[in-house]
Amino acid sequence: MQQPFDRSLPMALGLAVALGIALAALPAPAQTAAPAIAVLPGMPPVVDPTNLYSEAVAGRLSPAVAGDLARVYVPNRLSDDVYVIDPVTLKVVDKFPVGIHPQHVVPSWDLRTLWVANNGRRARMDGSLTPIDPRTGKPGRPIMVEDPYNLYFMPDGRSAIVVVENRERLDFRDPHTMALQWTLWAPQCPGINHGDFSIDGRFAIFSCEFKGGLVKIDLVGRRVRGFLKLSRGGMPQDVRISPDGSIFYVADMHADGVFLIDGQSFKEVGFIPTGIGAHGLYPSRDGKKLYVSNRGTEMMKGVPKAKGSVSVIDFATRKVEAVWPIPGGGSPDMGNVSADGKQLWLSGRFDNVVYMIDTTTGKVVSIPVGKEPHGLTVWPQPGRYSLGHTGNMR
């Protein structure tokens, strides 16, 4: 039987078509952009608030590093020299003496100098900073500076921050001449050594190696904001912020893992077990992973062939997704990731070698160097500027 014709249907269809045409004529809604971050005055803007490492991805090299030699610079703490490795041939191509007890090789804020931080002997005024020209790979005249265990740079580039570990203070200096500008004392933080900066550049968090805690520094007010004792820690080491700027990851050599610290509230919010002697922290070039070097010992003076390894943490899940042991044992310490992100370079602190680790397979190649290598850097690295250490690039 034929169904009766519904005269309301054409009217409804006509109204829908007309309404569709009218809606199509309206302008498209504006895209909602991520809110801009009010950064420290003079600091380069944050390009991607969800990934503060967005400008240090593979291939994004600054014009400032054009012509720089591709090299790995290895400071050897007990032989007082720097070995230079060609990352293509994996051969040592140069070595030269520096100051007493070189600890880290640090890229400057403007990417034009690599500074060797020679912290000298305890209770003596024989520390120095040796500049290296990355275009030639050759050292320049050292500058005498008290106890420069480590070196960072203000996010606005106006000051170098010399970490005076044995004096519980930070010396803010001219980033080129190293002339003293001002000093911040942190007596509640013995063994102050490694740190990282908030996404807006307004504060920093440093580890207090000899008190099992952290100190928060107000870089605008130039004061200590607070001290945090870690719940199960004993010897915190490297510090690195999450891509979204919310969480600071802190490696602790006695806790054998990484603490998670809420940067704003300055409270402990989690812990990730990684391996014996958790020490160095290095983001992958895509900002998705965090490589943790586990030195294989909880002692300051370790032994060769320890149970060293590298743990890979996924930033999104905050879980360890892989562990790469050092074949035959070893002591992976400080280093960084290659410009293309395919290699992780780490010093073998108590084995007098450097490890080149394939970040896809975890395969390890060892290269002999001087005595007790420490904070090596890979150069060049992508990024607009360096916040210091072995290449904290943004």
pLDDT at res. 26: 40
What does the pLDDT look like over 365-375, one tens digit per residue? 999 999 999 99
At residue 35, the pLDDT reads 62
Please list, in sequence order, all residues whose beta carbon lies within 8 angstroms of the beta carbon of residue 33, skipping any fewer than 6 positions away.
none
- The tally of domains found in the chain comes to 1
At position 57, the amino acid (one-letter code) is V
Residue 69 CB-half CA count within 13 A? 19
DSSP state of 371: S
**How do residues 80-128 score in pLDDT, each as one tens digit?**
999 999 999 999 999 999 999 999 999 999 999 999 999 999 878 899 9
Q: Which of residues 175 and 234 earns the better pLDDT score? A: 175
128: containing domain:
54-379
Residue 7 has pLDDT above 60, yes or no: no
Domain-embedded: residue 290: yes
Pairing between strand 213-218 and 203-208? antiparallel
CA–CA distance, 352 with 371 (Å, rounded to integer):
5
State the number of CA atoms in the 13 A half-sphere of 90 facing the CB. 12
- Residue 128 belongs to a domain: yes
48 belongs to a structural domain: no
Instruction: Report pTM.
Output: 0.91
Q: What is the pLDDT of residues 297-352, one digit of tens each?
A: 998 889 999 999 999 999 999 999 999 999 999 999 999 999 999 999 999 999 99
**Whether residue 16 has pLDDT greater than 70:** no
CATH number at residue 96: 2.130.10.10
pLDDT of residue 158 exceeding 70:
yes
Mean pLDDT value of segment 163-192:
97
pLDDT digits (tens, 9 = 90+) for 18-27: 334 333 334 4
CA distance 181 to 157: 13
pLDDT at 64: 98
Q: What percent of the chain has pLDDT over 70?
A: 91
Give the integer Cα–Cα distance in Å for 301 and 88: 32
Question: Is residue 20 included in any domain, yes or no?
Answer: no
Average pLDDT over residues 266-283: 98
Does residue 13 sit within a domain? no
Q: What is the Cα 134 distance to its own chain's centre?
A: 20
217 residue type, one letter: I
- Is the Cβ–Cβ distance between 282 and 344 less than 8 Å? yes
- Across the chain, what does the average pLDDT equal? 92
Please indicate, yes or no, if residue 175 is contained in any of the structural domains. Answer: yes
- Other CB atoms within 10 Å distance of the CB of residue 169: 18
Is the residue at 355 inside a domain?
yes
* 3 lies in some domain: no
Structure token digits, residue 42: 């003079």
Residue 38 or residue 95, greater confidence: 95
User: Which residues are within 8 A (CB) of 374 and not within 5 positions of it... i.e. 6 or more apart?
Assistant: 75, 76, 77, 102, 103, 104, 333, 334, 347, 349
